[in-house]
Structure 1
Amino acid sequence: MKRNRLTRPATIGLIGLTAFTLAACQEEVLEVPMISSASECTTSIPGATPEECKAAIDQANAEHQATAPRYDAVAVCEEQHGAGNCVADNSSGGGSIFMPILMGYMMGSLMSKLGGGAAAGAANARSVPMYPGAGGGLQTADGSTKVAAGSGTAKVGPQAFKAQPTTLGKAPMSSATVRSTGGFGNSTTSGGRTSSGGGGFGG
């Protein structure tokens, strides 16, 4: 009896610790506005001002130029992003580097406009450029967050807004590089969340 009284508090403490650990591991889900163009911003996001939209889109466009996936051949790019979804990177000068087209924006800096679905402090999140995936849908620059192609909203994890490394001025990915990682985003998708949006971008 004495031993049972001594071990019972320890057992209760272990159960409490386990519950706390499981709760801490649950990923936060954020509801994010998705748009396909600058003109769609104020009409699609309740309460968004033209100034807020311009600032968010300018930031995402600058990030696109700095961090978009870059490949050494259009065929390699299209294998990862789909036929017709790649263009020459004009910033490279020689036209020998290719990148996926910018298909839309995940408006993290404006997610607070959605009200109750936004997390505290969400207004400080970055807005993110989104790219086509070969199998459909849209992905972040590293492929770790995937959403259905569509305007409206998507539910994503906080990792969707993590800073991306610059690819500007770096060696583009080759076919061998892509094979070594298993394809676009496959080396980083373990922390990703597949989410759904509305209809097709631009549709």
Structure 2
Amino acid sequence: MKRSKSLKLALMGATILTMTACDNPDEVAAIFEDVDECAKYEGQDLDQCRQGWEEAKQEHIRTAPKYTSVADCQADFGEGQCEQAPQQTTSGGSVFMPMMMGYMMGSMLSGGGRSNVATQPLYRSADDPKTFRTGDNQKVSSKTGVQKVPSTVTSRPTTKTSTVRRGGFGTTAARTTSSTRSYGG
């Protein structure tokens, strides 16, 4: 009796783990530092590489973390890794964002055509410079090329409508919600 009860509990646990894994399946994504690297990768089309890069650049403006000072941005992304954003604060001051270090897009090598991966810019933080991250600070990969990534990083990143006042890329930074305005698009 105890043996069958243990077996049932083990099977129930395995079933739950299997179901959880199915809820968050991996997606096939193409991750590259630039168009040239993408075009050299077997199975990638130059036009798709260029289109992916352009889409990621547009997303970069919309979704990159925004900072009110270059020093705060560099504290999170490293010396020389930040640029001035096209947005300004409501008082006309500059806004800074990390430079785009690469991009992720769906891959034609995913089996059934383009995958469900949203084309988006990727960043590298000062404290983990080898790992690509999304604009929402989700770890993606430390490698380039076509690969499986967690489905949790493949959705379109959120639009950043606030600026970060000081340090802590992601959740530990203080934010000011009414200090930026966007021009166009």
Distance 1:122 1:50, change over 3 A: closer
Among 124, 128, 146, the alignment partner of 1:132 is: 124
Task: State the TM-score, normalized to the length of structure 1.
Answer: 0.68
Q: Kindly state the Cα deviation for residue 14 of structure 1 after the two structures are TM-superposed.
A: 3.5
1:36 equivalent to 2:40? Answer no
Equivalence for 1:14: 9
* Alpha-carbon distance between aligned partners in 2 of 1:50 and 1:173, rounded to the nearest angstrom: 36
Deviation per residue, 1:132-191 (Å, 9 max, x gap): 21121232112121433x543555311111222111xx231112xx4xxxx21356xxxx
How many aligned positions are there?
A: 166
Q: Kindly state the Cα deviation for residue 70 of structure 1 after the two structures are TM-superposed.
A: 0.3
Q: Give 1 or 2: higher strand fraction.
A: 2
Q: Kindly state the Cα deviation for residue 62 of structure 1 after the two structures are TM-superposed.
A: 1.7
Which stretches in structure 2 are left out of the alignment for 5+ residues?
173-185
- Report the 3-state secondary structure (helix = DSSP H, G, I; strand = E; otherwise coil) of the residue aligned with 1:105: strand
Among 79, 82, 85, the alignment partner of 1:83 is: 79
Q: Report 1:87-106 matches (<5 A).
A: 87-92=83-88, 94=92, 96-106=94-104
User: Identity of counterpart residues, as a percentage?
Assistant: 28
Distance 1:96 1:89, change over 3 A: same
1:162 equivalent to 2:155? Answer yes
Equivalence for 1:198: none
Which stretches in structure 1 are left out of the alignment for 5+ residues?
188-203
Q: Determine if contact 1:144/1:185 at 8 Å carries over to the other structure.
A: no
Task: State the TM-score, normalized to the length of structure 2.
Answer: 0.74
**Root mean square deviation, CA, Å:** 2.8
Equivalence for 1:201: none
Distance 1:91 1:80, change over 3 A: same
1:51 equivalent to 2:42? Answer no
- Report the 3-state secondary structure (helix = DSSP H, G, I; strand = E; otherwise coil) of the residue aligned with 1:123: coil
Q: Give 1 or 2: higher helix fraction.
A: 1
